[in-house]
């Protein structure tokens, strides 16, 4: 565990430290596209954050190859090299798209090529466990097609959900954390060495996302762009492919006691192929709804619009930050719920807990105007936006309060003081907008 944590921390540190210089490079290179109709941000923001994330991926793999225990993954398996090859191709394609723009069909072809490169180097699905049937071996053609399809679906699911500050990186980080827990349990709990690459991929993916998040939280200073969203989507798919289609079910049979028991044990892992992805079910649902919606209108499935789930949350009254937190909540509930169910599927408490938190999530969705109030003794530990003025304290807009401020501004809402172009005003040399109209990732 210590080596995985070290790899995670180093990956996060490299990504975090590289993001600042990459932002300056993106500005100098002109990778700041104009505001599009579907964007929710109001000021041009540099992209190419995927460059820093790819640097973190390379740094994490380099460190892991030098460690005592984790380093054995590079000696016993070619999967880390396959991942790096596919990631390099998809990252380069994303960089070109962030700077000059690439046609949707060309991007789709590039995604398929990157997946094919990983298949050629051994990162492919060999069999599928099916409940009540057992393990079904796949032919080379079937395994290749299924692997490519899973990679393409995951990449585009992450890319489609990348529409608000910190949304994609946070959701993928939660999915990677749940996936790491499951893979680590299979590796050290059941002694299945084939789960080691997936465990490493999940740790590195968490580091990439955590290192980039401080720069990408609302209001974002830089967007990951397609170079980042497609990259983390590919890494997440690689982990799912590695542990689902590479782990020998016979080893599980020896640990669990029967083939049917082993197949049942792997339910939360092969769900990503059948659903197709439980661990990122929210982005996949957004992807499916977007495709259906656009085709129903007679548009291309790749045509951009403002009908994604995060756009709808903003439309019903949620602020930018709250919309992101709601998406985090549902992603974590589904991902960690699947992992908990895999540990003890017979526990009624797990099912009841999932139902309870689902009800909490529905309440959060239906009460966009609800503002939770923290106890007074906790306010000194909270950011200013979560503090509330009381009698006897200087309220916003009164004596002792900043000139031109309002209660909403004191609570963290960025609102215009006077009318101006597009509802913006200059306050201290900066344009202010309502938070619910804040910056998105622009993808």
Structural domain includes residue 391: no
* pLDDT at position 23: 93
Q: β-strands 425-427, 134-137: how paired?
A: unpaired
Q: Which domain holds residue 193?
A: 2-366
Query: Counting every residue, how long is the chain?
Result: 443
Q: Measuring CA to CA, which residue among 160, 316, 172 is closest to residue 236?
A: 172
- Per-residue confidence band for 382, with pLDDT thresholds at 50, 70 and 90: low
Does residue 96 register a pLDDT over 90?
Answer: yes
Specify if 437 maps to a domain. no
Structural domain contains residue 401: no
| Residue 159 domain-assigned (yes or no) | yes
Q: Is the pLDDT score of 18 beyond 90?
A: yes
- Please report which confidence band the pLDDT of residue 337 belongs to, taking 50, 70 and 90 as the band edges: confident
Strands 127-130 and 430-432 turn out to be unpaired
Could you give the CA distance from residue 152 to residue 236 in angstroms, rounded to a whole number?
11
Instruction: Classify 365 as helix, strand or coil.
Output: helix
415 domain residue, yes or no: no
Q: At what angle do helices 225-245 and 50-66 cross, to 10 degrees?
A: 40
- What pLDDT is recorded for position 411? 40
The whole-angstrom distance between residue 428's C-alpha and the CA centroid of its chain comes to 34
Going along 131-262, which residue ranges are E strands? Answer: 134-137
384 in a domain, yes or no? no
- In this predicted structure, the answer to whether residue 432 has a pLDDT above a threshold of 70 is no
Taking the C-alpha atoms of residue 9 and residue 33, their distance in angstroms, rounded to an integer, is 32
The answer to whether the CB of 368 falls within 8 A of the CB of 316 is: yes
HEC letters along 258-292: CHHHHHHHCHHHHHHHHCCCCCCHHHHHHHHHHHH
Q: Residues with Cβ < 8 Å from 75, sequence gap 6 or more?
A: none
Q: Please return the burial class of 140, using the count of CB atoms within 10 Å of its CB with bins 0-12, 13-18 and 19+.
A: exposed
- Residue 388: inside a domain: no
How many folded domains does the chain comprise? 1
pLDDT surpasses 80 at 283: no
How remote is the C-alpha of 153 from its chain's centroid?
A: 14
Q: Is residue 146 part of a domain?
A: yes
Instruction: Give me the torsion for CA of 377, 381, 382, 383, rounded to 10°.
Output: 140
């Amino acid at each position: 565990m210590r080596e995985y944590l070290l790899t995670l921390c180093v990956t996060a540190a490299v990504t975090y430290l590289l993001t600042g210089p990459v932002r300056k490079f993106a500005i100098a290179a002109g990778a700041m596209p104009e505001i599009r109709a579907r964007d929710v941000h109001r000021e041009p923001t540099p992209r190419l954050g995927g460059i820093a994330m790819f640097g973190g991926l390379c740094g994490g793999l380099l460190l892991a190859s030098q460690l005592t225990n984790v380093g054995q993954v590079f000696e016993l398996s070619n999967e880390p090299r396959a991942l790096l090859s596919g990631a390099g191709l998809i990252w380069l394609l994303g960089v070109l798209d962030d700077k000059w723009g690439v046609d949707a069909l060309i991007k789709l072809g590039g995604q398929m090529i990157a997946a094919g490169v990983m298949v050629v180097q051994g990162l492919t699905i060999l069999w599928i466990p099916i409940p009540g049937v057992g393990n079904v071996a796949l032919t080379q053609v079937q395994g290749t097609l299924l692997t490519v399809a899973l990679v393409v679906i995951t990449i585009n699911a992450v890319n489609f959900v990348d529409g608000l500050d910190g949304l994609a990186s946070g959701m993928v980080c939660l999915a990677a954390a749940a996936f790491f827990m499951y893979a680590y349990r299979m590796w050290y709990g059941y002694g299945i060495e084939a789960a080691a690459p997936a465990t490493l991929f999940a740790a590195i993916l968490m580091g990439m996302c955590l290192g980039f998040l401080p720069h990408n939280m609302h209001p974002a200073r830089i967007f990951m762009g397609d170079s980042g969203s497609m990259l983390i989507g590919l890494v997440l798919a690689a982990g799912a492919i590695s542990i689902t289609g590479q782990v020998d079910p016979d080893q599980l049979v020896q640990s669990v006691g029967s083939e049917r028991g082993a197949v049942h044990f792997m339910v939360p892992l092969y769900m990503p192929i059948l659903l197709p992805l439980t661990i990122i079910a929210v982005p996949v649902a957004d992807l499916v709804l977007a495709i259906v919606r656009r085709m129903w209108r007679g548009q291309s499935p790749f045509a951009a619009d403002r009908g994604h789930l995060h756009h709808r949350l903003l439309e019903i009254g949620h602020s930018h930050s709250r919309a992101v937190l709601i998406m985090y909540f549902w992603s974590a509930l589904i991902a960690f719920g699947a992992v908990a169910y895999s540990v003890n599927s017979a526990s009624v408490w797990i099912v009841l807990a999932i139902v309870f938190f689902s009800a909490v999530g529905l309440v959060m969705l239906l009460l966009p105007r609800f503002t939770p109030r923290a106890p007074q003794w906790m306010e000194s530990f909270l950011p200013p936006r979560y503090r509330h003025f009381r009698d006897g304290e200087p309220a916003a807009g009164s004596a002792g309060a900043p000139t031109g401020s309002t209660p909403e501004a004191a609570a963290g809402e960025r609102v215009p003081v006077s009318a101006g172009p597009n509802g913006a005003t200059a306050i201290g040399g900066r344009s202010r907008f309502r938070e619910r109209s804040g910056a998105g990732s622009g993808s």
